[in-house]
Structure formats: C-alpha cells, structure tokens
Amino acid sequence: MADSSHGHGHTPAAWTGVIVTFIGFCVAGAFMVMDNPLGFWGGMVIVLLGGVIGLIMRAMGLGAPKAQPLRMSSSAKQPARKVTTREPVAAES
C-alpha cells in the first residue's frame, strides 16, 4: 500500500500550504476561545492564504509533476500463451 502513493504530497508546495493552513486554524481556534470574532476571521483568512500559497508554488513548479499516461509494453502485443487446465482429481478414502 505504501508503494501506491507516488509521492503524493511530498513537495515543497504541499508542505508550505499545509503548514500555513495549520497555523491559520490555530489562530482561528485561539481567537474563537477568546471570543474575538475579528481574530477568528483573521485566522480563516490565513487558512485561505495557505491554499493560495500552495497553488502559487505549484504553478512555479514546486509541486508534483503531472502524471504521464500509461503506455503499452511491447510484450502486450504478443499473442497470449495457451492456458492448460488440469482435470480435478478425486480424493481417495
């Protein structure tokens, strides 16, 4: 299962976007507990800023490369092998 990730999220753009978003959630949470709506919405702006920063960094080439389409190998063009089946054997008592 670990082999199927293909580097998902292991880029500077992803790390930076997530870290800035996390900081925004922490700021919003702290101001929510302090009952300060202005500070809460400021934290939510930081959350959105994290997403924008991640997208800008991806556009700059710091994100994951786009997936290339799969190509057929030359062995797929060869005819299939003949599959032999075995007859079931009766169990002896």
Per residue in 57-87, pLDDT (tens digit) is 999 998 888 777 777 666 555 555 666 677 7
Alpha carbon 83 to its chain centroid, in Å, reads 40
Helices 37-57 and 12-33 cross at an angle (nearest 10°) of: 180
* DSSP 3-state of 50: helix
Q: Show the tokens assigned to 64.
A: 């994951």
**12-53 pLDDT, tens digit each:** 999 999 999 999 999 999 999 999 999 999 999 999 999 999
Q: Are 27 and 42 in contact (CB under 8 A)?
A: yes
pTM over 0.75: no
* Nearby residues of 20 by Cβ (< 8 Å), 6 or more positions away: 46, 49, 50, 53, 54
